[in-house]
Amino acid sequence: MNIKLVDKKIADIDSDILIEFLTKDELAECEHSDILQKAGFKAEQDTTCFLYEKGILFCGVDSKKSDDLRSAASCMIKMLKSSNYKSAKMSVISKSTLSALVEGIILGGYEFNEYKSEPKKAALEEISFALNDFKLDELETIFNEALIIANATCYTRDIVNRAPQEINPQTLAHAAQSLAYENSLLCNILQEDDLAKENMNAMLAVGRASVHGSALIHLAYKPQKAKKVVTLVGKGLTYDSGGLSLKAPTSMVTMKMDKAGACAVLGIIKAVSELKLDIEVHAFIGAVENMVGGNAYKPDDVLVSRSKTTIEVRNTDAEGRLVLADVLDYAQDKVKADYIFDFATLTGACMIALGQYTTGLMGHSHKLKHDISRAGSDSGEMISSLPFNRHLKKLLKSEIADISNTASKPYGGAITAGMFLDKFIKEENKNKWIHFDIAGTAYTESPWDCNVYGATGAGVRLMCEFLREVK
Ligand code: BES
Ligand code: ZN
Ligand code: ZN
The count of domains in the chain is: 2
Closest ligand 1 atom to Cα of 349: 21
Claim to verify: residue 129 and residue 169 sit in the same structural domain? no
Q: Is the overall model pTM greater than 0.95, yes or no?
A: yes
| Residue 177 maps to a domain | yes
Q: Is the CB–ligand 1 distance for residue 203 below 6 Å?
A: no
Query: What residue numbers bound the domain in which 259 lies?
Result: 164-469
In a domain, 41, yes or no: yes
The residues that are catalytic are 247, 321
Q: 323 CA distance to ligand 3 centroid (A)? A: 10
H-run or E-run covering 319: none
Amino acid at 278: D
Mean per-residue pLDDT, 166-187? 98
Q: What is the phi-psi region of residue 165: left when phi exceeds 0, alpha when psi lies from -120 to 50, beta otherwise?
A: alpha
CB 340 within 8 A of CB 422: no
Q: Is 68 in the pocket of ligand 1 (CB under 6 A)?
A: no
Mean pLDDT confidence for 282-298 = 99
Residue at 20 is within a domain: yes
- AA letter at 260: A
The answer to the question of residue 154 being in a domain is: no
Q: Which of 160, 203, 347, 396 to mutate to test the pocket of ligand 1 (most atoms within 8 A of CB)?
A: 347
pLDDT above 90: percentage of residues in the chain: 99
The reply to whether 20 and 75 lie within a common domain is: yes
Q: Which of the four pLDDT bands, split at 50, 70 and 90, describes residue 137?
A: very high
Does residue 315 share a domain with residue 215? yes
Residue 77 sits in a domain whose CATH number is 3.40.220.10
- pLDDT value of position 97: 98
Q: State the pLDDT at residue 301.
A: 99
**In this structure, how many other beta carbons lie within 10 angstroms of the beta carbon of residue 298?**
11
Share of the chain above pLDDT 70, in %: 100
Q: Whose CA is nearest to atom 22 of ligand 1?
A: 348
Strand ranges of the sheet holding 310-312, from the earlier edge strand across to the other edge: 302-304, 310-312, 403-404
Query: How far is Cα of residue 373 from the mean position of the Cα atoms in its chain?
Result: 15
The pLDDT tens digits for 417-468 are 999 999 999 999 999 999 999 999 999 999 999 999 999 999 999 999 999 9
Cα torsion 209, 437, 179, 368: sign = negative
Measured distance CA(93)–CA(109) in Å, rounded? 20
Q: Are residues 320 and 427 both part of a single domain?
A: yes
Question: Which CATH number fits the domain that encloses residue 200?
Answer: 3.40.630.10
Specify if 152 maps to a domain. no
Phi, psi (degrees; rounded to nearest 5) at 444:
-145, 145
CA distance 440 to 358: 7
pLDDT at residue 403, rounded to an integer: 99
pLDDT of residue 249: 98
DSSP per residue over 201-242, as a string? HHHHHHHTT-SSPPEEEEEEE--SS-S-EEEEEEEEEEEE--
Distance of alpha carbon 148 from alpha carbon 272, whole angstroms: 9
99 lines ligand 1 (CB under 6 A): no
Calculate mean pLDDT across residues 50-58. Answer: 95
Q: Are residues 36 and 80 in the same domain?
A: yes
Domain boundary among 134, 153, 176: 134
- Same domain for 122 and 237, yes or no, is no
Q: What is the arithmetic mean of pLDDT over 292-308? A: 98
Residues 119 and 186 in one domain: no
Residues 349, 430: one domain?
Answer: yes
Q: For ligand 1, is residue 104 a contact (CB within 6 Å)?
A: no
Q: How high is the pLDDT of residue 159? A: 99
Calculate the average pLDDT of the chain: 98
Q: pLDDT, tens digit, for every residue of 3-32? A: 999 999 999 999 999 999 999 999 999 999
Burial (CB count <10 Å: 0-12, 13-18, 19+), residue 443? buried
- The closest alpha carbon to 83, from 56, 43, 47, belongs to 56
Please give the distance of CA 254 from its chain centroid, rounded to a whole number: 16
Q: What is the pLDDT of residue 451?
A: 98
Residue 439 Cβ inside 6 Å of ligand 1? The answer reads: yes
Query: Which tens digits make up the pLDDT trace of 59-112?
Result: 999 999 999 999 999 999 999 999 999 999 999 999 999 999 999 999 999 999
Q: What is the pLDDT of residue 93?
A: 97
Nearest ligand to residue 442 Cα:
1
Helix (H) or strand (E) holding 38: helix 33-38
In this prediction, residues 161-188 reach a mean pLDDT of 98
